[in-house]
Amino acid sequence: MLHFADSLTFSGRKVVAAWAALPFPALSGSSLPDVLSAHQQDVPWKFLSSWKEQKVSCCFAQSVVLRGICQEKATSCPGQPRSPLHSCESPEQVLQQYIHTQFPGAFSTSHVLQQPCHTRPPFPQFFSPLLSRRGFLLDKAQGSSSAAVESIPVLAALQSSPVLHWLLSGLCRELRAPRARRWSSFCTAGLEHDDFQEALEELRSLAQCYEPGSGASEDEADSD
């Protein structure tokens, strides 16, 4: 995972953020172009950090993997395509087209796998009754006697994005708060005050690398 994250970071950046849609919000019988066309204003995956919710409108680099939905036909309507996504010939092209539309100019890789994520026991059954056994959304909730969810479509992504500026800056502010000086565990662990201040400065500098409009992102835009 460390080497994979390194492949998505450059210009002084060292951290990536994890996102996921578990399960991927797809109606039973719908195609991938149908699902993604319904999310043109906002991507259907969520930030996994405990930090406050952030909307992502751009990123520097990302890798996206979708599992368990490519069994459906890529084009659901005959004749004239309803959108550029419906004109794609494969699920891989659909996902790639969607990502490039949502994050133009970003370095992006995408993969579509047929195998879903299996959720048979001992996987916890915390799913909504609006899910079918295959993890697709239903129009009506299943009854209490229905079978458990056996598999789900999943989308996961790693992103180097400006969201990390707010997360790392917030962490830096928390560590600079007066209560941090009362953490006796720092002294117990042998951490010197100068070392602590140096680590805070490095964290602040790292956060600046993710700031929108920073020199690093401008250099990347020029190189593109």
Residue 177, pLDDT score? 75
The torsion of the CA quartet 18, 133, 140, 95, rounded to 10 degrees, works out to 40
More confidently predicted of 219 and 43: 43
Read off the tokens for 208. Answer: 């600046």
Report the distance separating Cα 15 and Cα 198, nearest Å: 18
| Statement: residue 79 has pLDDT above 60 | no
This prediction has a pTM of 0.78
| Statement: residue 24 has pLDDT above 90 | yes
- Express each pLDDT in 171-186 by its tens digit: 888 887 766 555 666 6
